[in-house]
């Protein structure tokens, strides 16, 4: 168990549906102070065909999305795993949240794909700095499917636990990330420091 649960963490994917919510659930069970977000303009879920996604506004509740998909095609969306995913999500929080609308501050932002990492940087750099409080932004690429989201949540938890155990995160983070990347993840990770 982490010695420092005071680290505030945000896990961010595109729609705040799969990868960020799986990690949110897992970190939360481990006692971390965690929130999750999406960076997209809309919440998008697969539909009955590649050219027919289900699109919702951020702020639409997980319940409303669940019931909409249930009414459209219960068998299809059960088979795709979307109803199970939404059921998990609504047990964690009421609705998907957009990172760009959050006023909260975190010590650590973990994104699940490079495009989302870039969107977070773009948003943070477009804001007027308030108090120049630093925040570490780390990207771990996780494919957007149920299996990878589960594996990714374990990796994110392991990473956050490692970082939470550091006595001097700002000083140690580069070496901790290097070690994590070379021994556990074996794929390149991105890291930068941004300011609130």
Mean pLDDT of 161-174: 94
pLDDT at 3: 42
Question: 65-120: per-residue pLDDT in tens?
Answer: 999 999 999 999 999 999 999 999 999 999 999 999 999 999 999 999 999 999 99
pLDDT at 5: 59
* Alpha-carbon gap, residue 167 to 87, rounded angstroms: 38
The number of beta carbons lying within 10 Å of the beta carbon of residue 51 is 6
The answer for 63, left when phi > 0, alpha when psi is -120 to 50, beta otherwise, is alpha
- Chain-wide mean pLDDT for the chain? 95
CA distances from 185 to 7, 145, 157 (A): 22, 18, 12
Instruction: Let me know: does 24 contact 92? Beta carbons within 8 Å.
Output: yes
Judging by DSSP bridges, how do beta strands 43-45 and 33-38 pair with one another? unpaired
Confidence tier at 167 by pLDDT (50, 70, 90): very high
- Residue 134, pLDDT > 90, answer yes
pTM as predicted: 0.95
pLDDT at 119: 98
Mean pLDDT of 163-176: 94
- Residue 184, pLDDT > 90, answer no
């Amino acid at each position: 168990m982490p010695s420092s649960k005071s680290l505030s963490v945000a896990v961010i994917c595109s729609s705040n549906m799969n990868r960020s919510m799986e990690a949110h659930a897992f970190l939360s069970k481990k006692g971390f102070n965690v929130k999750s977000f999406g960076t997209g303009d809309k919440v998008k879920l697969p539909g009955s065909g590649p050219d027919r996604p289900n699109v919702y506004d951020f702020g639409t509740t997980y319940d409303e999305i669940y019931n909409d998909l249930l009414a459209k095609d219960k068998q299809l969306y059960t088979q795709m795993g979307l109803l199970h995913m939404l059921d998990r999500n609504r047990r964690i929080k009421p609705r998907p949240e957009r990172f760009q609308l959050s006023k909260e501050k975190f010590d650590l932002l973990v994104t699940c794909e490079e495009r989302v990492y870039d969107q977070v940087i773009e948003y943070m750099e477009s804001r007027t700095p308030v108090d120049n409080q630093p925040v570490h932004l780390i990207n771990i690429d996780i494919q957007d499917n149920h299996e990878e989201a589960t594996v990714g949540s374990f990796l994110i938890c392991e990473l956050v636990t490692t970082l939470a155990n550091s006595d001097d995160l700002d000083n140690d983070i580069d070496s901790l990330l290097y070690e994590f990347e070379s021994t556990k993840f074996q794929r390149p990770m991105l890291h930068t420091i941004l300011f609130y």
